[in-house]
Amino acid sequence: MSPNRRIRGGKVIAADNLYTVILGLAFCIVLATAAFVAYKCYFQYETIFNIP
């Protein structure tokens, strides 16, 4: 929980850092996916970008 939690109009509102973490998580997921795809391409076709 971000320390920047605020209460607006009587409701609890998430801090902006939470969305940064979510965005970072999404980036990491995309990065991990790209790495996995590159790994599979290299070990199956022995190249990443070229067509064998």
Partner 1 sequence: MSTLTKILIVLVTISSIFLCGIVVTYVALADNYKDKYDEIKTERDSFKETANDKTEQLNKKIAEKDALEDKLNREIAKLNTEISTLKGDLKAANDEQKISNQRLSDMASVVETTTQTSKETTKLLMDTQAQLTLAEAEKTKLEAQFEDTSNTLLEKLAIIQTLEKEKKQLLEEKAELQSRMDKLLQPTGKAPAPVVIVTPPTDVARPAPVITKKIELRGLVTAVDSKNKMAGISIGTADGVKEGMRFHVTRANKFICDILIIDTDAEEAVGVLELIEEQPRPGDTVATNL
Residues that bind partner 1 (CB under 8 A): 14, 16, 19, 22-23, 25-26, 29-30, 32-33, 36-37, 40, 44-46, 52
| Tokens found for residue 18 | 């939470």
Give the shortest CB-52-to-partner 1 separation in angstroms. Answer: 6
15 contacts: CB under 8 Å, gap ≥ 6: 1, 2, 3, 4, 5, 6
CB of 11 to partner 1, least distance (A): 12
Please answer whether residues 32 and 40 qualify as being in contact, where contact means their C-beta atoms are separated by less than 8 angstroms. no
Q: Provide the minimum distance between the beta carbon of 4 and partner 1 in the complex, in angstroms, as a whole number.
A: 11
